[in-house]
Amino acid sequence: MQKIKNSKFTIRIPIIVAITLVAGIQIGAKFFGNQNMVGDVIKSSSKFKEILTYIDRSYVDPVDTDSLAEYGITKMLEKLDPHTAYLPAKEAQLAMSELQNGFDGIGVEFNVFNDTVYVVTPLSGGPSEEVGILSGDAILEANDVDLTGEQLNTRLIFNTLRGERGTEVKMKIKRKGFKEPLEFTVLRDKIPTYSVDASYLMEDGITGYIKINRFSETTYDEFLAGLKGLKSEGMTQLVLDLRGNPGGYLERATAIADEFISGNDVLVYTDGKDDRNDRKMYARHKGVFEKGALVVLVDEGSASASEIVSGALQDYDRALIIGRRTFGKGLVQAPISLSDGSELRLTISRYYIPSGRSIQKPYTSGDLQDYYGELNERSEHGEFFSADSIKNDVKNQYKTMGGRTVYGGGGITPDVFVSRDTTHISRYLMELYGTNIIREYALEYSNDNADKLNKMPFNSFLKSFNVTDAMLKEIIKKGESLGIEYVAKDYAKSKSFIQGQVKALIARSIWKDTNGLSNSFYKVIGKDDEMLKAAMSHFEEAKNLGK
């Protein structure tokens, strides 16, 4: 009897087809329950299997049909919306580690469009933030690996940017406003699961400050511990800093909002095609800080769960929102595990905050470049620098519970606008950051002067320690040794900012906090933080909200 010989593809085809069948039939049956729809999906998946079989059997050249199938799925999902995505098994595992176990890497939240990696936000306190990577930067190359073009995928990005802590990643960055690519050297480090960067009482003795960098599994517990601690110290008003927070677990975000909002009203609700995907989340218990002035800081890097928290607090007139318009992500994804360990993140509904407004910004199906390039458009139109440049659609006007006008359809528009501070930005500064000189100098200085600094109370350091011209000359020399040309005009522009960064990094190195906090760092940079200054000057307005 002649043996039947099956190709590797024929053996693997149940797994490949399972992706489309599970993503189609099972999801369709579970979520939509329409027999005609299921029938259409079966026809489409049969066609998909048939074409792959012909390619495997008869195409003139060898083909990796697994990769071809995954490519087809990815392109198919691009026709839906900007956040529906397919993750192969290894990528799904890596992606979850950001919210659960931590990982070693450069610390950026990124998106891919038009075959280019764009930074959504550098993770607060991570190595990329420390060397000056910004939201909107395009990563062109890392360690001589080209991160543009058709070969680009999430696996390549992870494999290139993640690695053993202490190792270097040399990157070429395209930044708007600079004709030539900028070069950065980032030292990989542990990206921790801690999500509260700072929690401290400010110098006035009554204002608390809490900064949350994302909403992970432990965020609510970290936040609650900090909030209770501040209240016990005498806090009567609070600044909640959600700048650069890309979101995360919705339940952690709404639990935090519940600590500020009294009663049992809706905090957020979802609406989709299938009623089974509709849900409402309510305030459920008496919060720790339901009374007392509250200011929330946001910017264009604040997305998803951050927008739900800030939007709900704005809708209930519970907090004054200060900063710049948020990102505008209000689509809900359900993570669906497939049979081979891969994952489909399917958009099943939209978020709506209490006033009834959606925070999702407009998008055209299949046009990811336009969607993710929208932040660059904001920059070009001057929105980062002028409140008058924010183009809210009057058709999306809503009212807060106290009757104030707010807008939907594109992020949370702040009550008080604060422009992006670029007065210190220069090519010279970027080159110093790119080679990690500022951070390395601060660490060296801390090590060399540890005995003297450890004898100094932190408050004395905060008030009296100055980064001298002699110290700055050392930084200039280090730069010149690496080929960075000293430019007097650029140096003058960036000098005070460099001094502040060096002082803050020294503080972080000497006065280490527990539980992932960097209070000493943020107390130093807070002195020159224009948005934080705006918060301090608007507490009276925050106190009178809803009255």
Phi, psi for residue 195 in degrees, rounded to 5: -125, -10
Paired residues of 207 in beta bridges: 237
The Cα 252–Cα 354 span in angstroms is 18
Instruction: Check residue 79 and report its DSSP letter.
Output: T
- Which of the residues 315, 317, 415, 529 is marked catalytic? 315
520 is catalytic: no
Q: Is 286 a catalytic residue?
A: no
**Euclidean distance between CA atoms 436 and 431, whole angstroms:** 9
Other beta carbons less than 10 A from residue 20's beta carbon: 21
What gap in Å lies between CA 252 and CA 255, rounded to an integer?
Answer: 5
The angle at the Cα of 354, spanning 351 to 356, to the nearest 5 degrees, equals: 65
Measured between its terminal Cα atoms, the distance across the chain in Å is 89
What HEC string does 80-92 produce? Answer: CCCCCEEECHHHH
- Look at strands 116-122 and 168-174 and give their pairing: unpaired
Q: Which of 329, 361, 503, 523 is catalytic?
A: 329
Nearest-angstrom CA–CA distance, 221 and 217? 9
DSSP 203: T
Residue 304 designated active-site: yes
Residue with tokens 């904001």: 378
Give dist(CA 546, CA 399) in Å, integer.
12
User: Which residue type, as a one-letter code, is found at position 60?
Assistant: V
Q: Which residues contact 398 (CB under 8 A, 6 or more apart)?
A: 315, 355, 356, 357, 405, 406, 407, 408
Cα 442 to Cα 243: distance, rounded to the nearest angstrom: 25
Joined tokens for residue 533: 């200054």
User: Catalytic residue among 124, 128, 135, 304, which?
Assistant: 304
Greatest CA separation for the chain = 91
Backbone angles phi, psi at 484, to 5 degrees: -90, 115
Query: Comparing C-alpha atoms, which of 374, 362, 354, 360 is closest to residue 309?
Result: 354
Per DSSP, the residues of 480-494 read HHTT----HHHHHHH
Residue 512's CB is within 10 A of a number of other CB atoms, namely 11
Q: Are 331 and 447 contacting, i.e. CB atoms less than 8 angstroms apart?
A: no
**Coil, strand or helix at 266:** strand
Strand, coil or helix: 434: helix
The phi, psi pair for 313, rounded to 5°, reads: -65, -35
At 294 the three-state DSSP class reads: strand
Which position has the token pair 């702040």? Answer: 414
**343-352 and 85-87: which strand pairing?**
antiparallel
Please name the residue ranges forming H helices in 233-333.
250-258, 305-315
Show which residues are catalytic. Answer: 304, 315, 329
